[in-house]
DNA sequence: CGGCGTACAGTACACCGTACAGTAGCGGCA
DNA sequence: TGCCGCTACTGTACGGTGTACTGTACGCCG
């Protein structure tokens, strides 16, 4: 970023710059390849400079997560409550798929605070307005959220595996090597399982079924 | 494990011993605290000895995952297909909650092979026997699996956060600090959200709704 | 009993997060 | 305008990690 010889001036750093740069690096090379040292080099400072703004790597991860979760407000579509809910869930999935690092952070670090409040508010409000009781709204929210999380996580990993040709080959080899006597149904459905292992249609299918299963709770 | 002075005899190691010991360490101290060096020390061996059996840490993780997924066959309850499916899903959740490290491995490393074939077979067979088409069975399976994964992941992290009193305090403080004008519904449902954020009842609720949403697909 | 393959040991390297102590640039006050 | 103190940044260092490469001695087989 800057020349190698100069000492970085006094106000080169601020939390937001650090977070956005960290996010850029994580999006480029993956969370696991991310390191404080690489981030510091990218910013043209020494590694320890970051500790002025964050207690450590974990806190920086939290900040990145909060940044992503706070930046986007998920829009609620107009229409019947089923559609409203589906639109929020779809928006959340898209956010998670756009930033796999966010997915990894959510999956590896417990929530500490109000980070998800925005998406929670959106979803829970739609559920309440649809007529769900307090308890059912809370339950339905948790269910929807965890479903989207799991689906996005799985999809993201399938995508990762399908990225490199070696992974594709391995997947195919695996399917072919399955014993037909041990796993007859899996072998029979190999094609369908591979075809539906991810993608918008699969998510839409699950989401519709889930929301449909919620309807009877409205009496 | 052995004295410090002696050289380890020739056949102290084998893949299974390594995997089970690794699993024990991971279950005791968490996946992130696990290191090859600690494992080697536990086995009374130098770190590089492990490389005779595994290409590296990643491959060892895969082996642990396969060990856990292969050991237990999830039982299918007798009864209507809804109940069969729910029983398998519940069994999978219990396995994931019993071994949080398995959860972490599943969430961080893409599947490479037939590891999930056993649970896939169980679920997909039940769905097919219930009368679902090939495509719908595959879709329903993927949906169920990702739901259980997401729910268990979320629950496991909530549990972790609730473990230490500091985490509990932080959760409560967070709820209290939420602005009532920004997040009125969340504040209104704070109690319900906290109460339903995990546990068997929450999972059961989600699972029932999900399976109920599947029923219309049978025509 | 001897030699050979290989399961283990040892050393080394690059990299990680971060504790601790020093230094220099900037804002604010005289 | 000039100086002073605060603090944002630097440097060094430590203990840890995964793992590549090289050496060694053990136990099996002829």
Structural domain boundaries in chain A: 15-68, 73-218
B46 nearest nucleotide via C1' and CA: C9
Q: Is the pLDDT of residue A33 over 60?
A: yes
pLDDT category of residue B178 using cuts at 50, 70 and 90: confident
- What architecture does CATH give domain A73-218? Orthogonal Bundle (1.10)
Residues A132-141 as b or e (16 or more Cβ within 10 Å = b): bebebbbbbb
Does position A113 have pLDDT exceeding 70, yes or no? no
Q: Do the beta carbons of residue B173 and residue A112 sit within 8 Å?
A: no
Determine the angle formed by the axes of helices B81-98 and B100-108, rounding to 10 degrees: 100
Q: Which one, of B20, B97, B123, lies nearest residue B63 by Cα? A: B20
Cα–Cα distance for residue pair A168/A159, rounded to 1 Å? 10
- Which residues of A are less than 8 Å from B114 in CB distance? 174, 177-178, 183
Mean pLDDT over A48-66 rounds to 97
Closest CA to A37 of A55, A57, A20, A53: A57
Average pLDDT on B110-139 reads: 90
Q: How confident is the model at residue A3 (pLDDT cuts 50, 70, 90)?
A: very low
Alpha helices in chain A (DSSP H): 15-29, 36-43, 57-71, 81-98, 100-108, 117-130, 134-163, 165-177, 184-188, 190-195, 200-214
Instruction: Name chain A contacts of B146, Cβ cutoff 8 Å.
Output: 147, 150-151, 153-155, 206
Å from B18 (CA) to D25 (C1')? 23
B161 neighbourhood in chain A, CB within 8 Å: 110-112
pLDDT tens, residue by residue, B25-63: 999 999 999 999 999 999 999 999 999 999 999 999 999
Whole-number pLDDT of residue A79: 95
- Half-sphere exposure for B135 (CA within 13 Å, toward CB): 5
Q: Using pLDDT thresholds of 50, 70 and 90, give the confidence band for residue B4.
A: very low
Nearest to B107 among A107, A117, A120 (CB): A107
Distance CA A41, CA B105 (A): 30
> Most B CBs within 10 Å: which of A146, A176, A203, A215, as the mutation test of the B interface?
A146
CATH architecture of B75-218: Orthogonal Bundle (1.10)
Q: Which CATH class is domain A15-68?
A: mainly alpha
Q: Of the spans A179-193, B104-118, B156-170, which averages the highest pLDDT?
A: A179-193
Is B196 within 7 A of strand C by CB distance? no
pLDDT of residue A5: 54
Task: State whether B157 and A110 contact (CB < 8 Å).
Answer: yes
Instruction: Reply yes or no on whether the pLDDT at A19 is more than 80.
Output: yes
Which candidate from A139, A149, A184 shows the least CB-CB separation from B153?
A149
A46 touches strand D (CB under 7 A): yes
In this structure, what token pair is assigned to residue A209?
């079924």
| Portion of chain A with pLDDT greater than 70, in percent | 97
CA atoms within 13 A on the CB side of B89: 31
Q: Is the CB of A49 under 7 A from strand C?
A: no
What is the pLDDT, as a whole number, of residue B106? Answer: 95
């Amino acid at each position: 970023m800057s020349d190698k010889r100069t000492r970085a001036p006094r106000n080169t750093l601020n939390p937001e710059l650090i977070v956005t740069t960290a996010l850029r690096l994580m999006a480029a090379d993956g969370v696991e390849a991310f390191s404080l040292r690489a981030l510091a080099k990218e910013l043209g400072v020494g590694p320890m400079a970051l500790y002025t703004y964050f207690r450590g790597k974990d806190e920086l991860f939290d900040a990145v997560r909060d940044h992503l979760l706070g930046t986007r407000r998920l829009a609620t579509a107009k229409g019947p409550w089923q559609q409203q809910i589906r639109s929020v869930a779809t928006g959340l999935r898209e956010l998670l798929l756009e930033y796999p690092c966010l997915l990894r952070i959510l999956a590896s670090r417990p929530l500490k605070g109000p980070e998800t409040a925005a998406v929670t508010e959106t979803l829970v409000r739609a559920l309440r307005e649809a007529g769900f009781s307090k308890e059912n709204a809370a339950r339905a929210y948790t269910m929807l959220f965890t479903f989207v999380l799991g689906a996005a996580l799985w999809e993201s990993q399938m995508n990762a595996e399908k990225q490199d040709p070696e992974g594709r080959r391995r997947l195919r080899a695996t399917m072919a090597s399955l014993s037909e006597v041990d796993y007859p149904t899996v072998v029979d459905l190999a094609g369908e399982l591979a075809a539906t292992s991810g993608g918008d249609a699969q998510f839409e299918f699950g989401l519709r079924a889930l929301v449909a299963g919620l309807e009877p709770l409205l009496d």
